[in-house]
Amino acid sequence: MWPRRLVLSVVTVVMLGCAAAPTIDLGAWQAPVGRGHPLTGRIWDASADRFVTAEQLVARLVRARYVLLGERHDNPDHHRIQAALVRALLAAGRRPAVAFEMFTADDAGSIARHLAAAPRDAAGLAAAVDWKRSGWPDWAYYEPIAQAALDAGLPIVAANLAPATARALARGDRSALPAGLAARHALDQPLPDGGEAALARELHDAHCGHIPWERMDGMVLAQRARDATLADGMLAAAVDGAVLIAGTAHVRTDRGVPAYLRARAPGASIAAVAPLEVREEWTRPRDYAAAYEGRLPFDWVWFTPRMGDRDSCGRLGLPRTSEIRAPGSRGRRRSRRRRWTGCRRRR
């Protein structure tokens, strides 16, 4: 059993030699289920097919121009890992922009005005963008990440597609695509290697099977446009690269944001880290690949406890019409100001 307190220490390389940075202590796990699971707290290097230490992971992330940090939105441990890794990058001397899926093009002006008046006030960002009506979990989950960025003088990037645009695309209105986005990212071409059909199945399942299949082309286009827009946000803001804070579906290396980054910046180094919640019956990393067409589509997986066992569709009062389920998929209440177009937001 790994200890409940997870300690992440990093080594800072400076011009005059090597100096140890302060230890970053994440404290006790906050998610309640699976703390004693054999994988909890362990980090899996998917390409090397082996476990690595937090220090080894940080050493690799420091060398990557673009770092993508996934999450299950309602798991506080995932956000604590994200914050720790951002701080580790800063301690190692990196100064990337920090892009958030949770902030859209509609928020950019409000964020700029708030930070012009209070450049270090991460707490105040919530009021600036009317976070309470956004449908996202408590801003307290994200505030430490934003605070670390602002304390270092890093730009906060509102990287996501405007909600109205995403809704129009999901309804099948291709004319809503932002100018140049389709051409830059080949959105008029299907994803290779069966990715289009796989994404359609994933979205169909994420909406409890209640989106008619004839609407899935629009849903797929909207999701691809969001990933492409997130990639553009990272590329445009990158002085010393960029870090993306987003759900695990967006940081997939096969058809998520990394794929769009590779196409636009083929020589850049990209690193994707996905915290995944453990399942009692899955005790080996390869067990989790079954939920992702047989291969973990991330560079590293950091296993964490989970928030609980619940039937997301049942919570919404919807019968489940699809049995294609991925670990961590979940439902959300409809928000007065929705950032997505269906009954559930993807993880």
Domain boundaries, the chain: 31-315
Q: What is the Cα–Cα distance from 147 to 143, expressed in whole angstroms? A: 6
Tally the C-alpha atoms within 13 A of residue 225's C-alpha that lie toward its C-beta.
30
**In which band, very low, low, confident or very high, does the pLDDT at 148 lie, cut at 50, 70 and 90?**
very high
**In which band, very low, low, confident or very high, does the pLDDT at 311 lie, cut at 50, 70 and 90?**
low
Q: Among the residues of the chain, which ranges form H helices?
A: 54-62, 76-91, 108-117, 125-128, 143-151, 163-170, 181-185, 195-206, 216-237, 257-264, 285-289, 312-315
3-state SS class at 59: helix
pLDDT (tens digit, 9 = 90+) per residue, 84-105? 999 999 999 999 999 999 999 9
- The residue type found at 301 is V
Residue with tokens 């703390």: 35
| pLDDT at residue 53 greater than cutoff 70 | yes
At residue 281, the pLDDT reads 96
3-state SS class at 183: helix
Residues across the chain:
347
pLDDT (tens digit, 9 = 90+) per residue, 213-224? 777 899 999 999
Q: What is the dihedral of CA 211, 217, 219, 224, to 10 degrees?
A: 150
Task: Note the CATH architecture for domain 31-315.
Answer: 3-Layer(aba) Sandwich (3.40)
At residue 24, the pLDDT reads 57
**Contact, 221 vs 169, CB < 8 A?**
yes
Q: What is the Cα–Cα distance from 343 to 282, expressed in whole angstroms? A: 28
